[in-house]
Amino acid sequence: METSDLRIALISGNYNYVRDGANQALNRLVEYLLRQGAQVRVYSPTTETPAFEPQGDLVSLPSLAIPGRAEYRVSTGVNRRIRGDLAAFNPNVVHVAAPDIGCHRAVTWARKQGLPVLASVHTRFETYFRYYNMAWLEPVVVAMLRRFYRRCDALVAPSDSFAQVLRDQRMNYDIDIWSRGVDREMFHPGLRDMAWRRSLGIGDDEVVVGFHSRLVMEKGLDVFSDTIDQLRRRGVVHRTLIVGDGPARPWLEARLPDAVFAGFMSGKDLGKAVASMDVLFFPSTTETFGNVSLEAMACGLPVVAAAATGSQNLVDNGRSGRLIRPGAVHQFAEALQAYVADPALRRAHGQAGEKRSEAFSWDQINQVVADTYIRLIRQKGAARSG
């Protein structure tokens, strides 16, 4: 069986209506599969104002806005219309990308049809509740996730460290690594733009501690702001540059009134913004891979990140950046202070990170998923014939 023989039904909770690392990875995967001759049909909630144009054919799933986070939608299931569309498409493998109702129902449909199911795990959903004063729900959520993922034939996870977390949680024992790549035309040191920095009021000799991500609390904004406060108390002269937007932006602006907020950026504008930083600070513990860290490394920046799933598979501690115990504000501040004070250290660690980033090619990475589809189809066929 070849990649061109694949007919993939991809069901996701968010494919293009809000831009984040997970749905951009899914779109890159679909673009690659289509380029290899595979057929792909995508099912996801949609809105009238999507963040970007989708790759492939997109079918709208019935959905509702999430209370308190109206920018996100949750699928309410797979109705008769969707089941009819799935049957007409006649996939030979089903890929589910979120543990929501729509994907649950898609797994049920696939099992009835005798089709293999692959689940991609994009985030540590269970950890989100820590940021909304509902940590007591975490064991319940883990149990619900386990029930979902064990109904699937296999999982793909973005990093070895996250795959081990999934094994430890007994989510599944067939787990391949679907890593992430970086677009080296979009992220490279040559995009550094001092004129753009000056337009934001940042001097050429000022050291920029940067952050770029969607501005939501689960990205570690509390730890980020506490650490920047710690630098200020220590008298560490620097500028804080925040690239991104989201519902927590007003909170962060009030918390860090001296920071420069550049807003949402994409494409080469985002690459320019990242390359124009001097060090990336990313304390999030909810990442499963660390796209933000990889993009900064490709731009030649040292990275200070939480020693958590994702970044710890990218950042070589003490060589291309620093990995700090999650939430350890004083240690984060010490690591950042060292980079602010020592341009030679910034340069050496940035160069090491850029070299490391060269290993991440999107096409090679996405072929891993195609190979996993093919393996599952063969295994399912062997089980039926046996």
- Is the pLDDT at 69 greater than 90, yes or no? no
pLDDT for 179 equals 85
In CATH, which superfamily holds the domain spanning 189-357?
Glycogen Phosphorylase B; (3.40.50.2000)
Lowest mean pLDDT among 49-53, 252-256, 357-361, 362-366: 357-361
pLDDT digits (tens, 9 = 90+) for 112-127: 999 999 999 987 555 5
Percent of the residues in the chain that have a pLDDT greater than 70, as a whole number? 95
Q: Pairing mode, if any, of strands 175-177 and 63-66? A: unpaired
Q: Check the CA dihedral 59-64-69-71 and report its sign.
A: positive
**To which residue do tokens 């995508």 refer?**
42
- Please state, in angstroms and rounded to a whole number, the distance separating the CA atoms of residues 240 and 201: 11
E-strand ranges in 76-235 read: 93-96, 117-120, 154-157, 175-177, 208-212
One-letter amino acid for residue 36 of the chain? Q
Give yes or no on whether 3-181+361-381 and 189-357 have one common fold.
Answer: yes
Averaged pLDDT score across all residues of the chain: 91
Lowest mean pLDDT among 1-15, 181-195, 372-386: 372-386
pLDDT for 361 equals 82
- Is the pLDDT at 26 greater than 90, yes or no? yes
pLDDT for 291 equals 83
**Higher pLDDT among residues 126 and 332, named by residue:** 332
138's tokens: 């975490």
Q: Taking the CA atoms of the chain, what radius of gyration do you get in angstroms?
A: 21
Beta bridge partners of 42: 10, 58
pLDDT digits (tens, 9 = 90+) for 205-217: 999 999 999 899 9
Do residues 93 and 371 touch, judged by C-beta distance below 8 A? Answer: no
pLDDT digits (tens, 9 = 90+) for 174-198: 999 998 888 888 999 999 999 999 9
Q: 66 φ, ψ to 5°?
A: -80, 125
Confidence of residue 203 (pLDDT cuts 50, 70, 90): very high
Do residues 279 and 257 touch, judged by C-beta distance below 8 A? Answer: no
pLDDT for 134 equals 61
Domain segments of the chain as ranges:
3-181+361-381, 189-357
pLDDT for 218 equals 85
Confidence of residue 18 (pLDDT cuts 50, 70, 90): confident
Q: Pairing mode, if any, of strands 69-75 and 63-66? A: antiparallel
- Please state, in angstroms and rounded to a whole number, the distance separating the CA atoms of residues 167 and 220: 25
pLDDT for 132 equals 53
- Is the pLDDT at 79 greater than 70, yes or no? yes
One-letter amino acid for residue 130 of the chain? R
pLDDT for 375 equals 97
- Is the pLDDT at 129 greater than 60, yes or no? no
Residues 6+ apart with CB under 8 A from 314: 289, 290, 293, 294, 297, 303, 356
What pTM, to 2 d.p., does this model score? Answer: 0.70
- Please state, in angstroms and rounded to a whole number, the distance separating the CA atoms of residues 345 and 383: 56
**Higher pLDDT among residues 193 and 311, named by residue:** 193
71's tokens: 């920018």
**Higher pLDDT among residues 309 and 303, named by residue:** 303
Residues 6+ apart with CB under 8 A from 302: 279, 280, 320, 321, 322, 339, 345, 346, 349, 350, 353
Long-range CB pairs of 323-329, under 8 A, 24+ apart, other chains included: 324/283, 326/223, 326/283, 326/285, 327/223, 327/283, 327/285, 329/223, 329/226, 329/227, 329/230
- Please state, in angstroms and rounded to a whole number, the distance separating the CA atoms of residues 378 and 372: 10
- Is the pLDDT at 137 greater than 70, yes or no? no
Fold (topology level) of 3-181+361-381: Rossmann fold (3.40.50)
- Is the pLDDT at 128 greater than 80, yes or no? no
pLDDT digits (tens, 9 = 90+) for 219-278: 999 999 999 999 999 999 999 999 999 999 999 999 999 999 999 998 889 999 999 999
Do residues 282 and 261 touch, judged by C-beta distance below 8 A? Answer: no
**To which residue do tokens 């109206």 refer?**
70
